[in-house]
Structure 1
Amino acid sequence: MTQTIGFIGSGSIGGSLARLAVAAGLNVVMSNSRGPETLADLIAELGDRARAATPEEAAKAGDIVVATVPMSAYDKLPADALAEKTVIDTMNYYPERDGHIAELDSAEVTSSELLQRHLAGSRVVKTLHNMDWIRLYSRARPAGAPDRSALPVAGDDPAAKTEVTRLMDVLGYDAVDIGTLADSWRCEPGTPVYVWPYLGKLPEGITKEEAQRWFQEVPGEPVPADGVKELVDQAVRGPVGGSFAALPFWG
């Protein structure tokens, strides 16, 4: 059973997942590109179950490792230290932030397949990426709760998907297996299951400032497994990559 989660990237998504992990009784090893000393406040908040480290140290320490960095930095992840590890990919491709990546723009591969190519010795599983960081923390629920949400999971290694599904259950979410990493485009930015179903409908006629306040305060909506399956099935492959302009928390 997973006892320690390593985090490479400790921003909004990493911080939310670390909080859920600590609350569930797991240990976390946090890292970022700026050095362990920059994580002092987060470690103090997380408490005795958390420590700061370098990305290589976090990779080696984790029973499972969460890669949660901008897509532009995917090839900076320490492949050697992550060998034989199950790696959760929470990364989303936003060309406005990441620059254009030719293999992704052409739909030659999905972003998770590109990551798996870099981490050839690891078992990459795509999940925990299609909710915003606020609801990802606040909408976690115990198993069996009537308002528990589900999240899509994609991966090429069945055992790794099972391992990640068990962790998700501990963190507060059901999982819906949507296939391989090649199928993960069905839950990428711009698809029906990405962010908005868990937020709810944005009120009409509000200003950008009001939308940002709404985003901070709205409790969100539960999306059960059947709802995730329906939304994933509705996905149509179109232009690759997300747009921040489509999100209420941007700008």
Structure 2
Amino acid sequence: MPAVTFDQASVAVETENSAQPKVLLDAVTLRLEEARVGVIGANGSGKSTLLRLVNGLIQPTTGTVTVDGDDTVRAVRKVRRNVGFVFTDPLSQLVMPTGREDVELSLRRSVKNGPERRRQASQALERLGLLHLADQSIYELSGGERQLMALAAVLAVNPAVLVLDEPSTLLDLRNRELLRRTLANLDQQIIMSTHDLDLALEMDRVLVIEAGRVAFDGAPGEAVAAYRSWCLQGLNPAGRDAP
């Protein structure tokens, strides 16, 4: 598996109402090598910031992030070829009228020949069971189908790492299960934030993020139990030492 490394990575942004920058992520040091890494925590805890550092959507204010040794700032183009990103809302990612056109768009840089690009797009759609929906308007698709279309467009270029930011948030139970089964069969390393604790339990390793820090890092069952406990007790785990 690829190694995604955070070395004292922090993210801070200027705000109008304060002379001091707002810290979104605070000196995170991690090495992620597992096939399935889950990231859980409350809204605003820093989960999305952590994920967006992985493919250079956000640059660290201090520290570094690397993917298999490639710095996400200095080698951002190479990193983005190796790291695919799937957003929470697929409509923010699907920019073409149909799924087929979106997948072909993602292939345009790597596959210059039109017929070959269309063939590879069909393969990518067929792999996820979407070929019969390829030429429908994305607005005619269900939330789960849109999410899978966005996933197909990302997977078409065969990234080594797949980052998903709360992919099941907008899905009903049937489409959540469809997404879960699809992800379980992928070869890519997956780093995924989620509010779905049952989904988090299927990961190899789970991080609990609170107030921009890693409050817990460990086995899924232990991480979910700690997070549940903190939520139920109304505790703020920021700054705690991981058990």
Instruction: Pick 1 or 2: higher relative contact order, CA cutoff 8 A, min separation 6.
Output: 2
Decide: shared fold, TM above 0.5. no
**Normalized against structure 1, the TM-score is what?**
0.34
Which structure's residues are more often strand, by fraction? Answer: 2
Alignment TM-score, normalising by the size of structure 2: 0.35
Please identify which structure carries the higher helix content: 1
